[in-house]
Amino acid sequence: MKNTLFFLLLFPAICFAQNYTIKPLTAGKNTSMRGLSIVSDSVAWVSGSNGYVGKTLNGGKTWEWTQPKGFEKLDFRDIEAFDNLKAIIVNAGSPAYILSTIDGGKNWQQVYKNTDSAIFLDGMAFWDSQQGIIFGDPIKNKMQLLKTTDGGLTWKDISANLKKELKMGEAGFAASGTTIRTADDGKVWIASGGAVSNIYFSSNYGKKWKVYPCPIIQGESSTGPFSIAFYDHKKGIAVGGNYLKDKENTNNVLLTSNGGKSWSKPTKPVLGYRSAVEYITDQLCFATGSSGTDYSNDGGKTWTNISTQNFNALQKAKKGKLILLTGNKGQIAQLMMP
């Protein structure tokens, strides 16, 4: 009788979890994709290694692929798309480039180049169509910060605005372009990891910064937060772990209710290392990584695994309901809702 009662209590949760399915859309392209920007239920862009940029105009049914000429060997770790014509891509490593297109990817303009051997840009986010920010690993202990106020045509170095120096071994992760997040009225959060993990927060478009400790797993170059998400200016989630031990889930997901000033552990964590997290509603969240995908329907307090398939990034449409995941070997999939 007890077993029967236990099963009946568990059954609704099982059904609920099974309603979320991951539908493959395309695969086979020789690229590992970490850049993802979903404009609407129809338009989405992706970017990845070997210089590839992909675009769909029909919600993922078909994809157009391009490799910006002269940049075929770059790993474009992040992309920001504004519509079916305009997008901006940034690569990881040195030299660092930022490229822009206004004709749907047919032609790309180089709008930034940095040949410093230590440059490594990690992620990009925009407040609106004109104002955006990019961050990168520290050079001489100073986090690299770039800002645009003209829609990405020009970029200004604002690294001097962040007075605090990073610790030795503290850096960013370019796992999905989501260790940087922006919100209304100039708010921006940046998560660092490695030897030390911190949250860098600005409320005025990167002019002044505050620093909060992030008590996620840290201490090694492969540990820390690999993605953050904020539902509003207070409620947020950080996920990560150790990408070299991607099935472990020791202290690799944290919640904040005060904009990153302090963090708490969930009741039930994600199953393993995660490189992307996204709010769908204030209660429904998804996280994905190389060892699988999980969901939470209580704002991140408890997580349930729905897949062990390898993905890098996950995102919901800015205006719409489309949710896509990107991974290795050109894999793009759609997260299907009940």
> 13 pLDDT exceeds 60?
no
Tens digit of pLDDT for each residue in 81-92? 999 999 999 999
Query: Percent of the chain having pLDDT more than 90?
Result: 94
Confidence of residue 153 (pLDDT cuts 50, 70, 90): very high
Half-sphere exposure (CA, 13 Å, Cβ side) for 79? 30
Query: Percent of the chain having pLDDT more than 70?
Result: 95
Helix then strand then coil, % of the chain, to nearest 5: 10, 45, 50
Question: Which among 188, 233, 195, 186 has a CA at the least distance from the CA of 214?
Answer: 195
> 282 pLDDT exceeds 60?
yes
pTM across the whole model? 0.94
> In the sheet that 253-256 helps form, which strands lie side by side, from edge to edge?
223-230, 236-242, 253-256
Q: Identify the residue whose tokens are 């030390």.
A: 196
Note the pLDDT of residue 43: 98
Tens digit of pLDDT for each residue in 161-211? 999 999 999 999 999 999 999 999 999 999 999 999 999 999 999 999 999
Q: Is the separation of the CB atoms in 139 and 116 below 8 Å?
A: yes
Tens digit of pLDDT for each residue in 124-145? 999 999 999 999 999 999 999 9
Note the pLDDT of residue 16: 43
pLDDT mean across residues, the chain: 95
Note the pLDDT of residue 10: 37
Bridge partners (DSSP) of residue 121 are 136
Tens digit of pLDDT for each residue in 211-252? 999 999 999 999 999 999 999 999 999 999 999 999 999 999
Q: How far apart are CA 134 and CA 127, in angstroms?
A: 12
For the chain, counts of helices (H) and of strands (E): 1, 29
In the numeric block, which tokens belong to residue 327? 């991974």
**3-state SS of 78-142?**
EEEECCCCCEEEEECCCCEEEEEECCCCCCCEEEEEECCCCCCEEEEEECCCCCEEEEEEEECCE
- Residue range 295-309: mean pLDDT, rounded: 98
> 11 pLDDT exceeds 60?
no
